[in-house]
């Protein structure tokens, strides 16, 4: 396993879930940098 296989995680400030935040592959923080997209959509 190399560093290229690692997925960077970031914790959502609202739901405390550790979610992927890789700009090139998988990112759950597209709409806001502090809360995940699911929480952001629930607030809207």
The total number of structural domains that make up the chain: 1
Q: Which domain holds residue 27?
A: 3-43
The pLDDT of 23-28, averaged and rounded, is: 92
First to last CA, the chain: 40
pTM (2 decimals)?
0.81
Q: How far apart are CA 16 and CA 4, in angstroms?
A: 25
Tell me the pairing of strands 9-11 and 18-20: antiparallel
Of all residues in the chain, what percent carry a pLDDT higher than 90? 75
pLDDT (0 to 100) of residue 2: 63
Two structure tokens written together for 4: 């290229």
pLDDT (0 to 100) of residue 11: 98
* CA distances to 12, 14, 23, 25 from 42, in Å: 13, 11, 23, 24
- Looking at every residue in the chain, the average pLDDT score rounds to 92
Phi, psi of 13 (to 5 degrees): -70, -20
Q: Which residue has the tokens 């592959």?
A: 25
């Amino acid at each position: 396993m190399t560093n290229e296989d690692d997925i960077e995680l970031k914790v959502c400030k609202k739901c405390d879930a550790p979610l992927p935040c890789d700009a090139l592959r998988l990112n759950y923080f597209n709409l806001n940098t502090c809360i995940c997209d699911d929480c952001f959509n629930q607030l809207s």
